[in-house]
Amino acid sequence: MNTFQHNAYVSPGTRADYQSLSQYHYRPGHPAAIDQILTARIPGVPLPAAVLVIAYAPLNASWRKVAWPDLLTSSRSLAAHQLNSLVRRIARVIVRPTFRGLGLASLLLRTYLSAPRTSRTEVVASLTNPLFAACGMREVSPAPPPARDQRFAHALRALGIELWHLADMSYVIALLSREPRFAAALHRWCNDSRHSRSPHPRPFQSCYDQLSRRSDHPPVDVTKGDQGTHPASAPHARTPCQAEDYLSPNRNNASPAVQAGFAIEASFAASRIAHPPHIYVTP
């Protein structure tokens, strides 16, 4: 066993620990409702070596009816209560590049899953990862694509647009300017989730950084079970997506920042459609 791995230990973490490592995660933004943070540390190293972030589970996830059929309910308020009482999401597992390959992610996962906050735990990861199986999880079936992805894919087919075309940001920007039906389809896709709504246009560099992280990393849903109860989290505020420039006669005058912002969302949408998520549960 590596000396660093042998000496590493896990302790309760802080938001400052997470923020110091968040730049190394492929997903942009931050978990919406953090419930707990665990930090892996190495004696003699002042900075946190790795963090695991636990968050409240979002209400909407079509794959849960496959993973946990007993959670099905026709009442939205009851479903929210069940999720807040029974489910938490491992929202981030981040290892500082210097300490990758030393087993710290496994250490964090096993530590949390040995005493989870709730009876069921879910994880969203970039790709199928043998680490989850090593921690006792198994794949049960592919998750059905979200409705917004299906609508966007149908719109692309109707327009004769291939998914791989959307990896080219310059192509997307040109397409937004000349094809209002594509702009409308992308506008709807963005507004169908709070994660892709944005009150402000994003700078080019930020968008290129996000594209490099997102386009090669399709989401994966993972689930795990054990015990506990915690209070409901507050609802998240929603903000409108800035798509007006592309849905008006003046869409050709959209700022470069808005153009880049929509190009990155189009690329991410194509990635989600081309690489559907997977679901894992404990036996």
In a domain, 151, yes or no: yes
**Does residue 9 share a domain with residue 139?**
yes
CA angle 267, 268, 270 (to 5 degrees): 65
Mean pLDDT of 43-53: 95
248 lies in the same domain as 184: yes
- Cross-strand pairs, 223: 122
Signed CA dihedral, 73, 61, 23, 169: sign only: negative
Do residues 122 and 227 share a domain?
Answer: no
Q: Assign 3-state DSSP to the chain and report helix, strand, coil percentages, each to 5.
A: 45, 15, 35
User: Which residue shows structure tokens 């040109």?
Assistant: 174
Domain assignment present for 281: no
- Cβ atoms within 10 Å of 77's Cβ, excluding its own: 8
CATH of the domain at 48: 3.40.630.30
User: Which residue's structure tokens are 């005493």?
Assistant: 115
> Is 207 within a domain?
yes
| Residue finishing a domain among 86, 118, 143 | 143
Q: Residue 109's pLDDT band (boundaries 50, 70, 90)?
A: very high
- Is residue 205 scored above 80 in pLDDT? no
Q: Is residue 132 part of a domain?
A: yes
pLDDT digits (tens, 9 = 90+) for 89-102: 989 999 999 999 99
Orientation of helix 169-178 relative to helix 256-274, angle to 10°: 110
Residue 280 lies in a domain: no
If one counts every other C-beta atom within 10 angstroms of the C-beta of residue 254, the result is 23
Answer whether residue 258 shows pLDDT above 80.
no
Domain-located, residue 182: yes
- 101 plus 189 within the same structural domain: no
Tell me which DSSP letter residue 217 carries: -
Q: What is the pLDDT of residues 237-252, one digit of tens each?
A: 333 334 444 444 344 4
Query: How many structural domains does the chain have?
Result: 2
Q: Do 131 and 172 lie in a common domain?
A: no
The domain boundary residue, chosen from 118, 143, 168 = 143
> Taking a C-beta distance cutoff of 8 angstroms, is the pair 153, 273 a contact?
yes
Task: Decide if 249 is inside a domain.
Answer: yes
Tell me the pTM: 0.65
Q: Domain span at residue 88?
A: 3-143
- Domain boundary at 77, 110, 143, which? 143
| Residue located via tokens 């506990």 | 228
Q: Which residue has the tokens 């931050």?
A: 30
**pLDDT, mean over the chain:** 76
Quick one: average pLDDT of 182-191?
A: 87
- pLDDT per residue over 215-238, tens digit each? 333 333 334 443 333 333 333 333
| ∠ Cα 276 220 134 (to 5°) | 135
| Structural domain contains residue 104 | yes
